[in-house]
């Protein structure tokens, strides 16, 4: 009998930890059996095991491996687990300390824990977020040396460690709580849905709906990425997943590599604003605005539909201009096969919506929604009994979900450190005052400044962390103008995720262009044209709340939606250079102007834009270039 190697034993240990992590996260919303601080400490305990030990196991046998690095990772995991378990077991005493360290050792382990959190985030994502967190920590330590508005009183290490480590306002705060209580179970929900056939269902439905139309493969990529992106936590991860299918499909049908990559990048980015999950942003927004989760998802729906409508119209016009065709009849699944495959994601989503409508908490609804894929795991994609493959599917889902939940735990803990520093030093108020001073109280200028700030803060940072950092800095500024909280948060949320397609650091574009072997600069240009609606919509729903909040007179809301949709069509035609025929620069300029006039809240301007845009479709040059 062969004795398992050390690596095999470590792999089994990681799998066992993943199973325990899944059981803990699935049981927590149902039984709520732990105080907040203990639950968050245990959540971070599993994250350290899966990040450090899991990373060490994955590297074994590779050139990058080595006994020293393996041993180092195990030691880091042990230190992290020891500290978090100390918090778990000593919880009553910590609560009674009121942020006052008991000795030098407690100060030391607080900063060790912070270092381990930042290292975990660095491993799971690029180092941008940990570097930002370090800069904020440096500001907390040395900010008293800064003269003027942005200086603050001196904080010694004992005060800092007490605030960050011994209170729920520090790194154990709201964001880590959202990761523990809500996001993690939805991550497992998504993993189970995909592992049990939901991914196939998404793709078949997209191909069936859009595959046969002009530019069909690009529209398939848009729909599938919207469906997948809604429950994934990263535009880049979405590109890597759905792009492996959609990009080769588009290239096979003679799409330019840059166009194929741009479609995938834009669709994957848009998936982060599509309900019901919105890359976990919906849950954080619900907590920060004290709004029911279902209401947040409801208000997010119309802007998301308009975003994908803009992307779809842009793809359609570009495809007509270039003469792209749809998929052949042989490549499109029958409705019977489509309905069969769709059941694997429709059943869990129906269960989820059912419990949400009955006003159960999102995490409780997710528990029962996650139970349905476990039942579906015992059948094949043809709906035949397939018990033999059920356990591999479930095991794979557990490992995938645990890894993703650990990633989000490291992200939210790092972001929570930043928020704690902002709260301690009053930096948010100082930034808000500065923006208001620069804009001199002008809403439009303030919106532009916050939009730029949000894009910069979101560069190379996952959706949840990007939104959190941006709203903490920019949210108070816009609230000063008396805007509804949801309008403020959605404005910041949209711009925070747009860094994925906005140069110079556009992660989704980089990954998609690499997969398509395309020039990333050209890909970014097309991405901005296809995704322009995300830059425009936030301004529209700030100035006209009916687009977002769906308030007021029904006829007025319908008019605003129709006007916005028409503006999107005209702007897409101008950007893509096609409106029944290919457009020269002059005609493109007219279409762009018509689109801008349609967006203005003035009926005479709307009428001029409508006449100009529609009229141009029937006024042809002497020698038009037909497609």
DSSP characters for 462-501? -HHHHHHHHHHHHHHHHHTTT--HHHHHHHHHHHHHGGGT
Kind plus residue range of the DSSP H or E element containing 341: helix 335-357
* 290, part of any domain: no
Query: Which uninterrupted H or E stretch holds 589?
Result: helix 585-599
| Confidence (pLDDT) at 391 | 86
Q: Is residue 262 part of a domain?
A: no
Gap between the Cα atoms of 17 and 155, Å rounded: 39
Residue 56 lies in a domain: yes
Coil vs helix vs strand at 533: helix
User: Do 284 and 468 form a contact (C-beta atoms < 8 A)?
Assistant: yes
Cis before 504 (ω within 30):
yes
Convert 18-75 into a string of H (helix), E (strand) and C (coil). HHHHHHHHHHHHHHCCCCHHHHHHHHHHHHHHHHHHHHHHHHCCCCCCCHHHHHHHHH
pTM of the model: 0.76
Domain boundary among 171, 191, 223: 171
pLDDT tens digits, one per residue of 325-372: 667 777 788 888 888 888 887 888 888 888 877 878 878 888 888 888
What is the residue whose two structure tokens read 């650990």? 406
- What pairs with residue 582 in β-bridges? 578
57 within 8 A of 7, measured Cβ to Cβ:
yes
Cβ atoms of 135 and 418 closer than 8 Å: no
Using DSSP's 3-state secondary structure scheme, residue 380 falls into coil
Q: What is the mean pLDDT of residues 307-326?
A: 83
Whether the Cβ atoms of residue 480 and residue 434 lie closer than 8 Å to each other: no
How far, in Å, are 255, 262, 265, 547 from residue 246 at the CA level? 11, 11, 11, 31
Residue for token pair 């010694």: 156
383 in a structural domain: no
Q: Is 60 exceeded by the pLDDT of residue 627?
A: no
Cα–Cα distance, 570 to 372 (Å, whole number): 44
- Provide mean pLDDT across the span 254-259: 84
| Cα–Cα distance, 140 to 408 (Å, whole number) | 25
* Sign, CA torsion 198/202/208/212: negative
Alpha-carbon dihedral of residues 79, 80, 84, 85, nearest 10 degrees? -50
Quick check: 140 pLDDT over 70? yes
- Burial degree of 374 (CB within 10 A; 0-12, 13-18, 19+): middle
Write the DSSP string, 285-303: HHHHHT--HHHHHHHHHHH
Alpha helix (H) residue ranges in 125-212: 128-142, 157-165, 174-178, 184-193, 199-210
Q: What is the pLDDT of residues 389-424, one digit of tens each?
A: 888 888 888 988 898 888 888 888 888 888 888 888
Q: pLDDT confidence of 64, banded at 50, 70, 90?
A: very low
How sure is the predictor about 173, in pLDDT bands with cuts at 50, 70 and 90? confident
Residue 10 has a pLDDT of 74
Can you give the pLDDT at residue 596? Answer: 92
Quick check: helix, strand or coil at residue 582? strand
Quick check: 599 pLDDT over 80?
yes
- Percent helix, percent strand, percent coil in the chain, to nearest 5: 80, 0, 20
Backbone conformation region of residue 573, classed left if phi is above 0, alpha if psi is from -120 to 50, else beta: alpha
Q: Report the alpha-carbon distance of residue 59 to residue 119 in Å, rounded.
A: 17
In this prediction, residues 522-546 reach a mean pLDDT of: 89
The partner residues of 385 in beta bridges, in order of sequence, read 379
Q: Could you tell me the sign of the dihedral formed by the alpha carbons of 352, 358, 363, 364, in that order?
A: negative
214 Cβ contact partners less than 8 Å away, ≥ 6 residues apart? 316, 319, 320, 324, 325, 326
Checking if the pLDDT of 45 tops 90, the result is yes
Query: Which of the residue ranges 103-107, 194-198, 254-258 has the most confident prediction, judged by mean pLDDT?
Result: 103-107
Number of domains in the chain: 2
Residues 6 or more apart whose Cβ sits within 8 Å of residue 477: 431, 432, 435, 436, 446, 449, 450
Any residues with CB less than 8 A from the CB of 603 and at least 6 apart, and which? none
CA distance 154 to 142: 8
The answer on pLDDT for 60 being more than 60 is no
> Could you give the count of Cα atoms lying within 13 Å of 480 in the half-sphere of its Cβ?
22
What is the band of 112 on the pLDDT scale with cuts at 50, 70, 90?
A: very high
Q: Has residue 468 got a pLDDT over 90?
A: no
Distance CA 160, CA 154 (A): 10
Q: Domain of 33?
A: 6-171
Pick from 96-110, 219-233, 254-268: least confident: 219-233
Instruction: Give backbone dihedrals phi and psi of 232, rounded to 5 degrees, phi first.
Output: -100, 160
Q: What is the pLDDT of residue 591?
A: 92
Does residue 409 lie within any of the structural domains? Answer: no
Which of 121, 152, 171 marks a domain boundary? 171
Mean pLDDT, to the nearest integer, of 101-118?
91
In a domain, residue 198? The reply is no
Q: Which residues pair with 578 in a beta bridge?
A: 582
pLDDT at residue 595 in the model: 92
Per DSSP, what are the bridge partners of residue 379? 385
State how far the Cα of 319 lies from the Cα of 336, in Å rounded to an integer.
Answer: 29
* DSSP conformation class of 195: I
Name residue, tokens 């919106």.
447
Let me know the angle formed at the C-alpha of 64 by 59 and 67, rounded to the nearest 5 degrees: 70
Q: Which of 145, 171, 197 is the last residue of a domain?
A: 171
Residue 235 lies in a domain: no
Residue 354 lies in a domain: no
Q: How far is CA 415 from CA 47, 185, 467, in A?
A: 15, 20, 10
3-11: long-range contacts (C-beta < 8 A, 24 or more apart)?
Answer: 7/57, 7/60, 7/61, 10/53, 10/56, 10/57, 10/60, 11/57
Tokens, residue 400: 């995938």
């Amino acid at each position: 009998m062969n004795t398992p190697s050390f690596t095999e034993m470590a792999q089994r240990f990681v799998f066992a930890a993943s199973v325990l992590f899944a059981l803990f996260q699935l049981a927590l919303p149902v039984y709520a059996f732990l105080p907040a601080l203990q639950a968050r400490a245990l959540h971070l305990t599993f994250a350290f095991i899966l990040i450090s030990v899991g990373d060490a196991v994955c590297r074994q046998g590779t050139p990058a491996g080595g006994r020293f690095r393996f041993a180092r990772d195990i030691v880091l995991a042990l230190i992290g687990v020891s500290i978090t378990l100390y918090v778990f077991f000593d919880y009553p005493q910590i609560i009674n300390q009121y942020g006052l360290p008991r000795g030098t050792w407690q100060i030391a382990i607080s900063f060790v824990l912070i270092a381990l959190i930042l290292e975990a985030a660095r491993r799971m994502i690029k180092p941008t977020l940990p570097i930002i967190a370090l800069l904020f920590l440096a500001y907390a330590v040395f900010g008293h040396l800064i003269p003027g508005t942005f200086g603050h009183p001196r904080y010694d290490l004992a005060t800092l460690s007490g605030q960050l480590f011994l209170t729920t306002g520090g790194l154990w705060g709201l964001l880590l709580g959202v990761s523990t209580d809500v996001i993690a179970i939805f991550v497992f929900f998504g993993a189970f849905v995909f592992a049990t056939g939901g991914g196939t269902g998404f793709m078949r439905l997209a191909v069936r709906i859009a595959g046969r139309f002009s530019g069909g493969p690009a529209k398939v990529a848009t729909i599938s990425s919207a469906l997948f992106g809604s429950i994934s936590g990263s535009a880049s991860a979405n590109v890597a997943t759905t792009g492996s299918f959609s990009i080769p499909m588009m290239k096979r049908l003679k799409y330019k590599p840059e166009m194929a990559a741009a479609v995938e990048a834009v669709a994957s980015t848009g998936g982060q604003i599509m309900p019901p999950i919105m890359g976990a942003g919906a849950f954080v927004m619900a907590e920060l605005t004290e709004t029911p989760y279902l209401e947040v998802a409801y208000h997010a729906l119309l802007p998301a539909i308009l975003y994908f409508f803009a992307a779809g119209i842009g793809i359609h016009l570009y495809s007509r201009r270039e003469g792209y065709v749809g998929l052949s009849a042989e490549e499109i699944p029958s409705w019977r096969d489509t309905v069969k495959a769709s059941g694997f994601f429709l059943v869990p989503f129906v269960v989820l919506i059912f419990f949400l409508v009955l006003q159960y908490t999102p995490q409780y609804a997710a528990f029962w929604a996650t139970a349905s894929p476990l039942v579906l795991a015992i059948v094949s994609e043809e709906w035949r009994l397939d018990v033999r493959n059920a356990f591999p599917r479930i095991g794979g889902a557990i490992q995938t979900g645990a890894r993703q939940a650990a990633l989000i735990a490291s992200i939210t803990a790092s972001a929570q450190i930043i928020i704690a520093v902002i709260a301690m030093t009053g930096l948010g108020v100082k930034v808000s005052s500065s923006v208001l001073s620069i804009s001199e109280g002008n809403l439009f200028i303030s919106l532009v400044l916050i939009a730029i700030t949000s894009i910069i803060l979101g560069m190379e940072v996952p959706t949840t962390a990007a939104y959190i950092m941006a709203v903490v800095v920019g949210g108070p500024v816009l609230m000063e103008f008396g805007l509804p909280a949801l309008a403020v948060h959605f404005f910041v949320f949209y711009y925070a995720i747009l860094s994925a397609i906005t140069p110079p650091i556009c992660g989704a574009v980089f990954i998609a262009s690499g997969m398509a072997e395309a020039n990333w600069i050209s890909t970014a240009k097309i991405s901005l044209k296809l995704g322009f609606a995300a830059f425009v919509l936030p301004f529209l729903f700030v100035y006209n709340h009916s687009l977002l909040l769906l308030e007021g007179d029904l006829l007025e809301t319908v008019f605003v939606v129709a006007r916005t949709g028409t503006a999107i069509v005209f702007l897409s035609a101008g950007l893509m250079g096609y409106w029944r025929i290919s457009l020269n620069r002059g005609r493109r300029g007219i279409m762009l102007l018509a689109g801008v006039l349609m967006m203005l809240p003035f009926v005479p301007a709307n009428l001029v834009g409508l006449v100009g845009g529609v009229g141009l479709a029937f006024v042809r040059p002497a020698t038009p270039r037909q497609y």
